[in-house]
Amino acid sequence: MKTILLETVSSTNEYIRKFLPFREDVVVCAARQTGGMGTKGRSFLSEEGGVYCSFLKFYGDLPAAEAFRVMAHAAVAVCRTAKFFGARPAVKWPNDVFAAGRKLAGILIENGLAGGRIDHSVVGIGLNVSNDVSALGGIAISLSEAAGRSLSAERVRDVLIANFARESRFEEYLSFVGFLGKEVLIAEEKRVYPAIARRILEDGRLEIAEGEEVRALSAAEIDLKI
């Protein structure tokens, strides 16, 4: 996979799109983003000291129905990296990685569809390493803090790229999910209610039990509060 390293860019997800016509797998990483974006249009703090990478990956034959495999693989790459440096990562369904109860990394995926199949994916990963996250009011954590030692963003970046290049299995993703079988709070439209998180299906939906009723819900339908 071709690797491009930048100092500052508005968004690695935007920048990497210029490589779409060449149809080759590429990773673009920046030391800092000025316009980093999270899910649902939220901004993503991207100060120097973090790892901000976007991976452009083309597929030969991946059905659109299996799109969650892309998200699961990205989460596994982040969790492997955090674990390598001594942290204890956990996936907060569907696309955040936490450590010590605080957000360590976010993942933003944009899939390009063609004829019911995924032609390509742009996978953006923002991972706190040694950047100051105190402005986020205690909801975030750096990998250095989670690991209990000072870490180099460049070293973490290289490990993340290597882990993304490795294959992963859905079972490995599930191994990093710690809330299954426990009671969680579900925010659905104007209602917030407790439910048991039963399992995550391979299409990415969360199966919950509210009393005797069992339902499978997507991340677009609900917010999960653990």
Superfamily for the 2-175 domain = Bira Bifunctional Protein; Domain 2 (3.30.930.10)
Q: Residue 41 pLDDT more than 60?
A: no
This prediction has a pTM of 0.92
Token pair for 193:
């209610």
Mean pLDDT of 174-201: 94
Residue 9 is predicted with a pLDDT of 92
Cβ atoms 194, 119 nearer than 8 A: no
Q: Is the pLDDT of residue 80 over 80?
A: yes
Residue 66 above 90 pLDDT? yes
Q: Round the CA-based radius of gyration of the chain to a whole number and report it.
A: 17
- Average pLDDT of span 60-80: 95
**pLDDT for position 64:** 94
Amino acid letter at 76?
A: V
The structural domains of the chain, with segments of one domain joined by +, span 2-175, 183-225
Residue 217: CB atoms within 10 Å: 15
Joined tokens for residue 31: 């030391």
Question: Can you name the CATH fold of 183-225?
Answer: SH3 type barrels. (2.30.30)
